[in-house]
Structure 1
Amino acid sequence: MIKFFLIVNKQGQTRLSRYYECFEVQRRTLLESDVIKLCLSRSKDQCSFIEYKDFKLVYRQYAALFIVVGIDEYENEMAVFELIHNFVEVLDKYFSRVSELDLMFNLDKVHIILDEIILNGTAVETNKSRILSPLLVLDKIGDTG
């Protein structure tokens, strides 16, 4: 099961966080701080899977952004690694070369995309067209209204 999904920049600022398990605010802050330090301090040559406390971290770096996913011990690391890449491909398709600014100014749309991919900590959709279809409908409604 996926426990959380984070997007963080190189300066260690969280740009998106979605939790699929109940974490109190203080624990989230501490967790994000630790996870960010761990991932940012690693070199590109090191493995993208990290054992951390009672779960595993899977992360990928795209330019100045890190996407970090916390999973339980039963989740397949490679599947999550590819899920992260699929998420970025969907963002690229929608925003045509996504940037950190796209994420910051369209956070609601990024959440919609993420919600189409992951539901209650489980990956439910990987087809890019199906993931984007609700967002495209919303965009059409916005254009006509």
Structure 2
Amino acid sequence: MLIHIGCWVCVVQIHFVILINRQGKVRLTKWYSPYTQKERTKVIRELSGLVLNRGPKLCNFVDWRGLKAVYRRYASLYFCMCIDQDDNELEVLEIIHHYVEVLDRYFGSVCELDLIFNFHKAYYILDEILIAGELQESSKKTVARLIAAQDSLVEAAKEQESSISNIIAQATK
């Protein structure tokens, strides 16, 4: 990923994204590096324990398995991204914050229930921001526009499905 910050360019490779609540329940995962299902379960268990047991005044970076876990808590949710040891942690905190801001714009003060009942939208928003573990879109307006376009496509498809169902119902009477 290339991000222009001032006069220099940052490159970060995110291995995975995990959202967990304070009780350790997983609300969203996105894997950009290959992990078996068994490894994924172990990663989630280890990182959940590590992040949830840290004090609120400690830094938001943790060395873990030769990688670095960067996390940030928003209300009852922990947003965690894992990066290479030599990548820029502050940049990843900005990416996390960017994702939360876009979620807030879409849901209007996002909460855990929004992610539970609209998980497909949370994934779609994440996919608009990150592709293959790299930042794709840094503009909140562009992401909001793309999400609105997708919402209107879904509504149009629902209307078309409804009208087709009505036609079939009329024909079978």
Of residues 19, 39, 43 in structure 2, which corresponds to 1:27? 39
Specify which of 72, 83, 97 is matched with residue 71 of structure 1.
83
Which residue of the partner structure matches residue 19 of structure 2?
A: 7
- Aligned equivalent of 1:119: 131
Cα deviation, 1:108-142, whole Å, max 9, x if unaligned, reads 11111101111111112111011122220122233
Amino acid at match of 2:142: R
Supply the AA of the counterpart residue of 1:42: R
Helix, strand or coil at the partner of 1:30: helix
Larger Rg belongs to: 2
Are the counterparts in 2 of residues 3 and 121 from structure 1 also a CA contact under 8 Å?
A: yes
Matching residue's letter, 1:137: A
> Quick check: 1:2–1:75 contact (8 Å CA) kept in 2?
no
Partner AA of 1:76 in structure 2: N
Tell me if 1:57 matches 2:69: yes
* Aligned CA-pair RMSD: 1.0
**Over 2 Å off, 4+ runs:** 141-145
Q: Structure 2 length as normaliser, TM-score?
A: 0.81
Unmatched runs of 5 consecutive residues or more in structure 1 = none
Aligned identity (percent) is 37
Instruction: Give SS of 1:61's match.
Output: strand
Residue correspondence of structure 1 range 64-143 to structure 2 within 5 A: 64-143=76-155
Give the match's secondary structure for 2:85. Answer: coil
Q: Which amino acid aligns with 1:121?
A: G
Unaligned residue ranges in structure 2 (runs of 5+)? 1-12, 160-173
The residue type equivalent to 2:122 in the other structure is V
Letter in 2 for 1:51: D
| SS of the residue 1:60 aligns to | strand
Q: What TM-score comes out, normalization by structure 1 length?
A: 0.96
Q: Give the Cα separation in 2 of the matches to 1:132 and 1:33.
A: 33
Per the TM alignment, residue 73 of structure 1 is displaced from its structure 2 partner at its CA by: 1.9
Q: Give the drift of 1:26.
A: 0.4
